[in-house]
Structure 1
Amino acid sequence: MIITYASVFVDDQQKALDFYTEKLGFQLKVDVPAGPYRWLTVVSPEAPDGVQLLLEPSEHPAVHPFKEALMTDGIPFNSFGVEDVQAEYDRLTALGVRFLQEPTPMGPVTAAVLDDTCGNLIMIAEMTDPVASGK
């Protein structure tokens, strides 16, 4: 069994697509109409046949209170791995991405938390402990 899709609930699919491709650097994988919305996925250019991130509309009634609670408590909805969190933080900051947490060592990782502009906090993390990362 493998993971094929992961979801992130977004307030606006086009805005999310723009952010996840133009700022974070993901690539569009699938964009097909699905009723009033789209089945819209992006992938890492480093793994174009890997896990797809579904930019899912935040339309279900349970989603808004869930996302609001995560935002209020400062809890990231997803985490993405990076080779160098400081370099990625610098690159994204230069592109205007707003961070709520600068790169911070946390045990075997160094992590930073950004606002995806679509109602989610996202963590970017670099494994800094080769034993914990399995290297």
Structure 2
Amino acid sequence: MRIRLTNVFVDDQAKALSFYTEKLGFVKKHDVPVGADRWLTVVSPEEPDGTELLLEPGDHPAVGPYKAALLADGIPAAQFAVDDVRAEFERLSALGVRFAQEPQETGAVTTAVLDDTCGNLIQLLQTG
């Protein structure tokens, strides 16, 4: 069993696609119209056939309260592995990305948390 797809709920799919590709460096995998929305996924350029991230419209009534609760408690909606959290923090900060948590070491793990501009906190994780 493998994870093929996971999602983040976004306020605006076009804005999310821009952020996740132009800032974070993912690449668009699927962009299929579905009514007023799109089946819009991105993948890591390092694993183009790997796990896809669905930039899912957040217009379901349960999504607003769910996202608001996560944000209020500082809970990331997703976690992305990186080789060097500090280097990504510097690179992304230079691109104007806002961080809710600067790099922080906890034993063998280093994390940072960024704001994806679409209503989510995203944690960057470095292990080892």
Taking structure 2 as the reference length, the TM-score comes to 0.98
* CA–CA distance in structure 1, aligned partners of residues 51 and 44 of structure 2: 8
Q: SS at 2:90's partner residue?
A: helix
Following superposition, the deviation at residue 120 of structure 1 comes to 0.1
Deviations 1:27-82 (A, max 9, x none): 00000101110000000001000000000000111100000000011110100000
Is 1:70 matched with 2:85?
no
**Which runs of no fewer than 5 residues in structure 1 stay unpaired?**
129-135
Distance 1:12 1:106 in 2: 34
Counterparts of residues 99-118 of structure 1 (less than 5 Å)? 99-118=99-118
Matching residue's letter, 2:93: T
Distance, in Å, in 1 between the alignment partners of 2:118 and 2:12 is: 7
Instruction: Write out the 4+ residue segments of structure 1 that deviate beyond 3 Å after TM superposition.
Output: none
Q: Distance in 2 between matches of 1:107 and 1:30?
A: 38
Q: How many residues align?
A: 128
Amino acid in the other structure paired with 1:109 = V
Distance 1:109 1:49 in 2: 27
Partner of 1:133: none
Equivalent position of 1:91 in the other structure:
91
What secondary structure does 2:79 align onto? strand
Amino acid at match of 1:14: A
Q: Letter of the aligned partner of 1:73 in structure 2?
A: D
Say whether residues 1:15 and 2:10 are aligned partners. no
With normalisation by structure 1, the TM-score equals 0.93
- Name the aligned partner's letter for residue 17 of structure 1: L
Q: Does 1:36 align with 2:36?
A: yes
